[in-house]
Amino acid sequence: MRGNTVLRNSATKIVIYAVCIFLALLSIFPFWVMFMNATRGTFEIQQHAVTVVPSSHLMDNLRILLGKSFNPLTGFINSLIISCGVTLCTVYFSSLTAYGLVAYSWKLRQPFFTFIMAVLMLPAQVSIIGFYQFMYRIHLTNTFWPLILPAIASPAVVFFMRQYLLGALSLDIVDSARIDGAGEFHTFNRIVLPIMEPALATQAIFSFVFSWNNLFVPLILLTDNKKYTMPIMVSLLRGDIYRTEYGAVYLGLALTVLPLFVFYFLLSRYIISGVALGALKE
C-alpha cells in the first residue's frame, strides 16, 4: 500500500520534471536557433536551418546587415535615451503623487484616488489618433518628448507606490523632519525616496523594459530614420530588402535581443520577485 503511493508519487514527479524541462527548452530553443544562425551563411541556413554549433559567417552577415538601412547603434542609443527618460519620470513623479496621497490630508484626496483607480486600466492605444494629431499640430512628431513626458502620469505605478508607502512610511519621521526645519520637497527627496528604494527599483525595471519594447507609439510618431528606436529598427528586418538574407536577419534579431538577455539574466531575481510583488499589491 505504502510502496504503491511512493511509486505513484515518483511517477508523478517524473512527469512534472519532464514537463518543466520541456517548457524550459521551449523558452530557449528559438533564441538558440537565432544565435547560431546569426553566425551562419544564408546558404548554410538553407541547407539545414537547425544546428547545435556556430559557424564562421558572423562578419559577412554583419556587413550585409549594416550595408542596408539597419543601424543597431542608433536604435540602441535612441531607445536608451527614451527608456531612461521614461523610467525617471515614472518613478519620480509616481512616488511624488503617491506621497501626496498618503502624507497629506486634503479635501480632494479621496476623489483623486478614486479617479486614479478608475483610469488604472484605461486602454492607451484607443486614443492614438487624437494623440498623433495633437502632437502633429504642436510639432512634436519626430521628437522624443511625446514618448517620455506621458510617463509622468502612470496610474498603475502611483497605485503600487501608494500601497507600498502605506506599509513602509511612518508619519513620525516626516514630523520630526519638519521640526528640524526641513521643507516638504526636501523631506520627500531626502527622507521618503530612500525609504521607497525597493519599490523604486522594481518599478524602474518594469517601466524601462516596457518603454524599451514599445513599438506602437514610436512607429506612429517617429518617421525620421535618425530617430528610430530599437523595435522600429527590428521591424525593418521584415522588409523586402532582407528577403533572402537569412543570416543577416538572424544577426539583426540577435543584436536586438542580446542587450535584453544581459539585462534579464543580471536582474532576473529582482524581476521575478517584482512580478510576484505586483500581484500581491492588487
List the interface residues with other proteins, window 53-92 (CB under 8 A).
Answer: none
Which of 7, 14, 16, 266 touches other proteins (CB under 8 A)? Answer: 16
For 240-273, b/e burial (b = at least 16 CB within 10 A) is: eebeebbbbbbbbbbbbbeeeeeeeeeeeeebee
* Contacts of other proteins in 229-248 (CB under 8 A): 230-231, 234-235, 237-238, 246
- 253 lies in the site for other proteins, by CB under 8 A: yes
* Contacting residue, 70, 99, 160, 164, with other proteins by CB under 8 A: 99
Core vs surface per residue 67-77: b (16+ CB within 10 A) or e: eeebbbebbbe
127 binds other proteins (CB under 8 A): yes
With respect to other proteins, which residue has the nearer C-beta, 85 or 278? 278
- Find the length of the chain: 282
> Phi first, then psi: what are they for 121, rounded to 5°?
-110, 25
Considering the complex, state which of residue 168 and residue 270 has its C-beta at the smaller distance from other proteins: 270
Total binding residues for other proteins by CB under 8 A? 97
Query: 41: part of which helix (H) or strand (E)?
Result: none
> Cell 517548457 identifies what position?
23
Q: Which is nearer to other proteins, 69 or 235 (CB)?
A: 235
Residues 134-163 interacting with other proteins (rule: CB under 8 A): 134, 136-137, 146, 149-153, 155, 158
Nearest-angstrom CA–CA distance, 274 and 276: 5
What is the distance between the alpha carbons of residues 203 and 151, in angstroms, rounded to a whole number?
12
Measured CA to CA, the distance from residue 85 to residue 204 in angstroms comes to 11
* Residue 269 cell numbers, joined: 531575481
264 contacts other proteins (rule: CB under 8 A): yes
The answer to whether 192 contacts other proteins (rule: CB under 8 A) is no
Question: Binding residue for other proteins (CB under 8 A) from 213, 241, 262, 266?
Answer: 213
- Minimum separation from the CB atom of position 252 to other proteins (A): 8
Q: Which is nearer to other proteins, 18 or 59 (CB)?
A: 18
SS3 145: helix
